[in-house]
Amino acid sequence: MTDRIHEFSNDGLTFPVTDEGPLDGDVVVLLHGFPQTSTSWNAVCDRLHAEGYRTLTFDQRGYAPTARPRGRRAYRMSRLVSDVAALVGATGGPVHLVGHDWGAAVAWSTAAGRPDLVRSLVAVSVPHPRAFLGSMLISSQILRSYYIGLFQLPWLPEFACRRPRLLARMLSGTGMTPEQIAAVRTEIVDRAALTPSLNWYRAMPFSHPRYLRPVEAPTTYVWTTGDTALGRRGATMCSRYVTGPYRLDVAGGSHWVPEEQPDLLTRAIVDRISS
């Protein structure tokens, strides 16, 4: 495919797309996490273009102003995966898929439920969903994930996140810089993406078991020792749920790998694709 993709549609929603890099390069689709948008991939995308890859990013369901359905069921994993499938279909697919945080959860689920769409997978921070769930039973992961329970509450999370000082305190504790926190306020809070993005968490009880299947695609999982949200146990369990070639990359640093360590992450992506 030699034409740029400017947008795609799914479920009656419209998703603007940023399509950059060499048109004849292998296509890499990068999925952002919470509470960020596709701009979190800018530094990595620039480096991938220099390596000869074409990158596609988009603000996912709830984050894009033209793709904000009402109600938490609209944000269950099957719908998030269907959005990725629609974009991959527009490229002629399959693609190399990369995801960070919630984007990693969607990437794992896409590779598990729609293996025909994924040539290779790089998941950052969040492990395979079965490794994540399993680690809760035998490690400190359940304590690290306390906020998931809080996000199930109506109104209170929105109230807290709309208080600038409280939001800054929460996010700085995870390793976010002041510049990143300012971007969260602008891109998520001020642009009315807060409740839709929290609905991703509120839709978790409606996930289908098909997305817990092992992944066949060649996979790299990147985990950082300073991640306050995801522990080591989930990282070490992850290999159990990949049947294809697998690699675990462990680095120092916080949860916010795409912006904090773009060189390291770009190398992990390039190594996975080239292998």
Angle between helices 129-138 and 102-113 (to 10 degrees): 120
DSSP E strand stretches across 71-204: 95-100, 118-124
Does pLDDT of 249 surpass 90?
yes
Question: Which domains, and CATH codes, for the chain?
Answer: 7-274 (3.40.50.1820)
- Percent of the chain beyond pLDDT 90? 98
So what's the pLDDT on residue 241? Answer: 98
Does pLDDT of 248 surpass 80?
yes
Distance CA 52, CA 224 (A): 27
So what's the pLDDT on residue 93? Answer: 86
So what's the pLDDT on residue 1? Answer: 59
- Percent of the chain beyond pLDDT 70? 99
> Per-residue pLDDT tens for 33-77?
999 999 999 999 999 999 999 999 999 999 999 999 999 999 999
> Per-residue pLDDT tens for 145-162?
999 999 999 999 999 999
Q: Would you place residue 215 in the very low, low, confident or very high pLDDT band (cuts 50, 70, 90)?
A: very high
Does pLDDT of 117 surpass 80?
yes
Distance CA 59, CA 75 (A): 14
Distance CA 17, CA 197 (A): 18
pTM: 0.98
Average pLDDT over the chain reads 97
SS3 label, residue 123: strand
The distance in angstroms from the start CA to the end CA of the chain is 23
